[in-house]
Chains A and B, each alone.
Chain A
Amino acid sequence: MNVLEVHNLKKYFATQKAVDGISMNIEEGGIFGLLGPNGAGKTTLLRMITGIFYQDSGEIIFNGKKFNPEKDVADIGYMPEERGLYKKMKIGEQAVYLARLKGLSKADANAKIKTWFQKLEMESWWNKKVEDLSKGMSQKLQFVTTVLHNPKLIILDEPFSGLDPVNANLIKDEIFSLAKNGSTVIFSTHRMEQVEEICNHIVLVNKGKNILDGKIAEIKNSYKENIYSLTADNLPAQGNSNLFDVVNEKQGKLILKLKDNSSPNDILQYFINEKAAIHSFNEVLPSLNEIFIKLVEGTATARQFQNVN
């Protein structure tokens, strides 16, 4: 079942087609990556999904019904890219306040915060103020206040920026366990290595449109270029072969691009016949980063101001 469906969503500003007809489906229980270069329209899209903006046209279906911000925000947790907390407010009070704005009762909010604070080793923070926290610490706090009310849909905009590797791993594990317990996570970023590690489904957005949508494995497969890597001793001198082109050669490691009519077996056969001692042979799939750059490249890196009408 899809926890969220977005149909042909549009939002134009005075000088920008910020979101220009994006459609996507997000399955329940997965970790979903929303990718795109700066200014692609990710934040505007997320703001519509969280009920902060109203779309100009298009439809948002949340939980099988038309999205009703008034009611549905209680099931959504949103951590914006620009973090914000009341600096002068005590941390415990602040967490309770934000949880209650999501509709939790006072007792419920207190209990949930205690468990979370214990889990992330934050118990001693309760009576401190946010201004006393380091950037990474307040990031952790922001994460807790986002997921506190057990939302069905968790939206995290660049959740790891500013976190050291230890705390980043801590949060990463929490994201996994939230997804395992049935929450759906939308994870917006332009850091590809994190996406490859965490997400199982991605949408790539550029200039307000989605240009790629699918499971990571499938996307990689569809963008593969028949490139293989082979390591071996006693490699024969490379002449021209009608089976492959050599892309790169380095100390017993060859990167090969297969020609149209050859198969991996043909290649192996060739090297075995040449008496090479093969250590490994495997396919090289493009990284998301390469796909991303390939798709986005050539379009102007920064969005230009345009006339909407």
Chain B
Amino acid sequence: MNKILLILKREYLTRVKKKSFVFTTILFPALYMALIFGTGYLSSSVQKMNIAIVDSSGYFSDSLLAKINANDSTILFTPVKDTSVQSHFRKAGYDGYIIIPPIDWQTGRKNIKFITDKTHGTGTESMIENKLNIIWSEVVNEKLGIDNEKKTVLNTSNISIKEENQENKNANSAVSSTIGYVCGFLIYFILLIYGSQVMMGVMEEKTNRIAEVVVSSVKPFQLMLGKIIGISLVALTQFFIWVACILLVYTVGKMMGSESAVASAIVAGIQKSFASVNLPLILGCFAFYFMGGFFFYSSLYAAIGSAINEDVREAQSLSFPITLLIIFAIFMMTVAIRDPNGPIAVWGSIIPFTSPIVMMARLPFGVPGTVPVWQLILSMALLVIGFLCTTWLAAKIYRTGILMYGKKPTWKEMLKWALRK
């Protein structure tokens, strides 16, 4: 036990002291933010288009087109009388043209052709469609004799529903989904990043040949466990630094809140959202599923690391199935967030391969409202059994692999090591 402590202390300190740790701790949230806002910005900036409208129905008058162009100019409709535009629309400065055939106002018309010289995709297609439909509904309204007053009534008078869970009056599915997403993705990233760190660490010990020196002092199992726990603590440290940063930003925002209306609104929003979930439960479960999932997967990564000889390509091909399982879990999580009571969500949150990620996505929806207590207990118990099993199997592979050189590892070979007495 004492020796495990020594090993994990070394693993922890050498990693935390590294410059790259400080770097990634700061850089990761920054990059993540940049990714989110960056893609948001990129997807909002759409290319402008100029489309020639050749109207033979008589409904799309120049004045209507001008009116709609004034509202939104990303897609410009230009009325064209001359049908010869068809042959040289690109030269005339148009990205495409639409010939509107005669339309019966009561039935409308499907599949009017938008002719272009390159494919723009469904996004552009639906934007053009929407814009044409705005004009079309004005035409139809006029035909039906609906004036502006009636139109306002039609647009504004509707019914909306809001779910209220009687077990948990504060439940807010938008907030729950967000927290679920964040928790699930955090565990996903930590499993992938730190799992491969475990693998690289084991590989390093093997290729440096330090492994044989160390296992003449400690049992291979102690070495493996020390490494896994040490690295999990590094991950936890990084996580706590992030949480501390968020809290710092939050309190600073709160202090500034008295002066700035926007900041105080944000702070109030955060307070309200946290009030709608059981925060201690979420944090407790997060710690549990984080550790459980980490032990479950990193022991597998350790086993693979022990089987590899210096060749990074071997590492990639052998660890691929494990990585695939984690990616699979994140897919299940997105399904589970949309339907936290569905069979995929329930099974995904119970089976230990996916439970650390999927269960964390379901939990913010409420216990026992969405996740019955028996499911939570079963899921936790299975995860504990699961990681004990993988650690046990991994330890056997590790024991043989760490001293085996020159042999190209295969899954079959590793299975043989694992199942040997």
Closest to B14 in A: A89
B10 within 8 A of A: yes
Closest to A51 in B: B216
Interface SS of chain B: helix
Closest to A50 in B: B216
**With A52-B216, A80-B212 as contacts: A101 and B14 at CB distance below 8 Å:** no
Q: For the complex, what is the distance from the CA of A3 to the CA of B7, rounded to whole Å?
A: 30
Partner of A98, one of B205, B208, B217, B219: B217
Q: For the complex, what is the distance from the CA of A102 to the CA of B216, rounded to whole Å?
A: 9
Q: Which chain A residues in 75-106 approach chain B with CB under 8 Å?
A: 76, 78-80, 82-89, 97-98, 100-102
Closest-CB distance, A77 to chain B (whole angstroms): 8
Q: Which residues of A contact B208 (CB under 8 A)?
A: 84-87
A47 within 8 A of B: yes
Q: For the complex, what is the distance from the CA of A101 to the CA of B2, rounded to whole Å?
A: 9
**With A47-B403, A97-B10, A100-B6 as contacts: A84 and B218 at CB distance below 8 Å:** no
Q: For the complex, what is the distance from the CA of A82 to the CA of B214, rounded to whole Å?
A: 13
Q: Which residues of B contact A52 (CB under 8 A)?
A: 212, 215-216, 403
Closest to A93 in B: B10
Q: For the complex, what is the distance from the CA of A82 to the CA of B207, rounded to whole Å?
A: 10
Q: Which chain B residues in 5-52 approach chain A with CB under 8 Å?
A: 6-7, 10, 14
Q: Which residues of B contact A113 (CB under 8 A)?
A: none
Q: Report the interface size for chain B: residues with CB under 8 A from the other chain.
A: 19
Q: Report the interface size for chain A: residues with CB under 8 A from the other chain.
A: 26
B209 within 8 A of A: yes
Partner of B14, one of A69, A79, A88, A98: A88
**With A88-B14, A97-B10, A101-B3 as contacts: A78 and B210 at CB distance below 8 Å:** no
Closest-CB distance, B155 to chain A (whole angstroms): 67
Q: Which residues of A contact B219 (CB under 8 A)?
A: 69-70
Q: Which residues of A contact B10 (CB under 8 A)?
A: 97
Q: Which residues of B contact A86 (CB under 8 A)?
A: 14, 208, 210
Partner of B211, one of A50, A51, A84, A145: A84
Q: For the complex, what is the distance from the CA of A293 to the CA of B3, rounded to whole Å?
A: 45
Q: For the complex, what is the distance from the CA of A145 to the CA of B214, rounded to whole Å?
A: 11
Residues in chain A within 8 A of chain B (CB atoms): 47, 50-52, 69-70, 73, 76, 78-80, 82-89, 97-98, 100-102, 142, 145
Most buried by A among B14, B210, B211: B210
Q: Which residues of A contact B212 (CB under 8 A)?
A: 47, 52, 80, 82, 84
- When the two chains form their complex, are residues A101 and B209 in contact, meaning their CB atoms are under 8 A apart? no
Closest to A155 in B: B216
Closest-CB distance, B21 to chain A (whole angstroms): 13
Q: For the complex, what is the distance from the CA of A158 to the CA of B215, rounded to whole Å?
A: 19
Closest to A142 in B: B213
Closest-CB distance, A71 to chain B (whole angstroms): 12
Q: For the complex, what is the distance from the CA of A78 to the CA of B210, rounded to whole Å?
A: 12
Q: Which residues of A contact B205 (CB under 8 A)?
A: 84
Q: Which residues of B contact A76 (CB under 8 A)?
A: 216
Closest-CB distance, A263 to chain B (whole angstroms): 53
Q: Which residues of A contact B210 (CB under 8 A)?
A: 84-86
